[in-house]
Amino acid sequence: SQELEQSPQSLIVQEGKNLTINCTSSKTLYGLYWYKQKYGEGLIFLMMLQKGGEEKSHEKITAKLDEKKQQSSLHITASQPSHAGIYLCGADRSQGGKLIFGQGTELSVKP
């Protein structure tokens, strides 16, 4: 079983619609990272969350970490074709530097 579960695995939305991607860990996290990856390219850093209940926003993307620091959500408001890609959550569970990653959520936005 995955140590970090992402849902859904894939998502197709109409341009302008809102969407949410979830990331769940069975253990408390020291840090939760969200990245975006275009097919065949590197990972683009989006946000890092560390404190329980923390919420961060950048443009139309908002990420939250729950109070128990085991679940995070990424919310995109008024989606655009430029938001398409694979969204990955990564977690630091030991403060040791290494991140474990979920399997990713593939987002398609239809114009």
* CB of 13 or CB of 99, closer to another protein: 99
53 sits in the region (left: phi over 0; alpha: psi -120 to 50; else beta) called: left
Binding range to another protein, per CB under 8 A, among 12-20, 65-73, 76-84, 88-96: 88-96
Q: How far apart are CA 92 and CA 26, in angstroms?
A: 13
- Shortest Cβ distance from residue 3 to another protein (Å)? 10
Contact present, 63 and 55 (Cβ < 8 Å) = yes
Decide: is 95 part of the binding site for another protein (CB under 8 A). yes
Binding range to another protein, per CB under 8 A, among 14-22, 36-44, 55-63, 75-83: 36-44
Question: Considering Cα of 94, then 99, then 101, then 106, what sign does the dihedral take?
Answer: positive
Decide: is 96 part of the binding site for another protein (CB under 8 A). yes
